[in-house]
Amino acid sequence: MSLNDHPLVNDDSLINSFSKYAKSYDRYAQLQKSMAKRLAAFLPNPLPSHILEIGCGTGLFTRHLLTQALGQLTLNDIAPGMLEILQRSLELPKNTIIASGNAERIQFEKVDLICANAVFQWFQTPQETLKMLNQSLRERGQMIFSTFGPKTLIEFREAADLTNPIELYKNTTWKKMIQDSGFRIKSSDVEVRKIFFSNALTLLKNLQQIGAAPVRMAKTGGLRKLIRDYDSKFSTSQGVYATWELYYYSIINEN
């Protein structure tokens, strides 16, 4: 599979999945919430005048932006259902622009800072999107983002014959794509976590409630076997576990 080949993911599937579970997202997205907190440590202080957040969802990272004085804020997400929850749950500044749609296909106006928490793994053409986002930054503009590495949910691939619907790239691959897109890496971090659940079914339900369940990856009739095999292979006294490999980047426009 090439860097630009994601045959099992399309706009409609993402919109439908994330909009469907938008109301339950905040309750179950504890990992994404902690990623947002860690990514916020990469924010400059004070914030620059114009900020774009890509894939803002229900506002897990947006909340961190709102703790500082803001000039102009543009919030983007592909799922209208997520944006509805965000606008109902957060008191946004008057100078906030809501931009619904696929960030890979939107020509954003020039900004000083781009933020994206747990979003880049969904990009179908990450190299081209990085180049496009670079063009959306003013001179010496900055971008911070977090995403997932290939060890993420590796247990599912070990428990059954599954096809991952998205390509998860290694840290070295991301760094090369970043540099080839005209950015300089200011700082980066890698984190590997094991998160525990009472059983595989509970884990799957948690993933489902944030719109990211890998159930569709299982062959027809194989879901029950997947759950049995997962419980058998990855059970501990604390329950079953799932691995998450998390990447964080702070990069600067060098063009």
Among 136, 173, 164, residue whose Cα is nearest residue 247? 173
The H-or-E segment that residue 189 falls in is strand 183-197
d(CA 30, CA 126): 25
Tell me the fold of 11-150+167-193+245-253: Rossmann fold (3.40.50)
The whole-number pLDDT of residue 12 equals 75
Tokens of 112: 């000083």
Residue 9: pLDDT band (50, 70, 90) is low
- Rounded to two decimals, what is the model's pTM? 0.90
| Residue ranges covered by each domain of the chain | 11-150+167-193+245-253
- In the predicted structure, residue 220 carries a pLDDT above the cut 80: no
Query: Is pLDDT larger for residue 6 or for residue 43?
Result: 43
d(CA 132, CA 134): 5
d(CA 39, CA 246): 11
Residue 219: pLDDT band (50, 70, 90) is low
Query: Are the C-beta atoms of 233 and 39 separated by less than 8 Å?
Result: no
d(CA 218, CA 200): 14
CB neighbours of residue 239 within 10 Å: 16
Instruction: Name the 3-class secondary structure at 52.
Output: strand
Mean pLDDT over residues 73-83, rounded? 95
Tokens of 116: 């994206």
Residue 145: pLDDT band (50, 70, 90) is very high
Mean of per-residue pLDDT scores for the chain: 89
